Structure 1
Amino acid sequence: MRGQILGVDRRTGEGLVSGDDGRRYTFRPDDWAHQGEPSVGAYVDFDAEQSRARSIFPVPAAPQAVAPPAVGAVAMPGGPVTDRNKYIAAILAFLFGTLGIHRFYLGRTGSGIAMLVLTCTVVGLLVTGLWALVDCIRHLVMSDAAFAARYPRKG
């Protein structure tokens, strides 16, 4: 039978497999018949004995689960992940754009400092005001995937 590993207790090595038949099966470390350790989300082949999975092997070339993104992160299916929000960036650009606050939020420290310094002059204030308005509109119309690719997760 085949199924997917739902969880593994790292202390004991015991775990749970969701079989393709809709039932759940428990396993112990000695049921894992492959080198290495089972990982959550791995698609496996196993022998079912009542409610127990035995002789568990990972299925070659099966799609493996991807680690979930951090809390508050935006994940694009099969694409980049970001921990920033484009709507917050747009609001910051609209409200505090001339000070470059939205640029600091997005990790663009250099341009944020440039906006902050330019704001000290009247002409610079007009330039940064227009710059911030363009940034605000751009963040609102940018797709989530494009935003995540342009401003990836920190660290």
Structure 2
Amino acid sequence: MRGQVLGVDQRTGEGLVAGDDGRRYRFTPEDWAQRGEPAIGLQVDFEAEGDRALSVFPMPSARGVATAPPPPASREPVTDRNKIVAAVLAFFLGTLGIHRFYLGRTGSGIVMLVMTITVVGMLVTAPWAFIDMIRYLVMPDREFAARYARR
């Protein structure tokens, strides 16, 4: 039978259900067959025995029953950074790590900036910046947005 929870005693957990047949049925915490607690107004399904509601289950579409949030993968990643701008910065100012600062990668930007002071460091940061530029240009927009989204 189906019905609606009319009330629940918070101390004892005992409650009252109004059945679709117009009668009222009592239930105890042992009769509640679901995790969590019954709530007033919750639509339920139960077995009636005399004036008792046994095996009381909340209805799946009942209000008050928690539903799972949509998976995070269904949301489109959003970023205020542009991969073309990042690639241009990497090409022209890449040895200084400016493109890394633009993308929020401050740690590696500082490393590139400090390494550029020496000639050997410049020989390392120049190819590093060129590879970064190529990566930004070939990376799909969705992956770029997910990787470089502001946190």
Q: TM-score, normalised by structure 2?
A: 0.50
Identity of aligned residues (%): 68
Equivalent residue, structure 1, for 2:93: 96
Aligned-pair distance for 1:78? Answer: 3.4
Alpha-carbon distance between aligned partners in 2 of 1:78 and 1:99, rounded to the nearest angstrom = 35
Alpha-carbon distance between aligned partners in 2 of 1:78 and 1:116, rounded to the nearest angstrom = 35
Q: Describe how 1:77-96 pairs up with structure 2 within 5 A.
A: 78-96=75-93
RMSD: 1.5
Paired residue secondary structure (2:76): coil
1:121 aligned onto 2:118: yes
Equivalent residue, structure 1, for 2:103: 106
Q: What amino acid is the match of 2:93?
A: F
Which of 122, 136, 142 is equivalent to 2:139?
Answer: 142
Alpha-carbon distance between aligned partners in 1 of 2:101 and 2:136, rounded to the nearest angstrom = 15
Q: What amino acid is the match of 1:102?
A: H
Q: Which aligned runs of 4 or more in structure 1 are off by greater than 2 angstroms?
A: none
Alpha-carbon distance between aligned partners in 1 of 2:140 and 2:128, rounded to the nearest angstrom = 20
Unpaired runs of at least 5, structure 1 = 1-59, 61-76
Q: What amino acid is the match of 1:126?
A: L
Q: TM-score, normalised by structure 1?
A: 0.49
> Which deviations, in whole Å up to 9, do the C-alpha atoms of 1:124-155 show, x marking residues without a partner?
00100000000000000000000001001x35
Paired residue secondary structure (2:81): coil
- Give the aligned length: 79
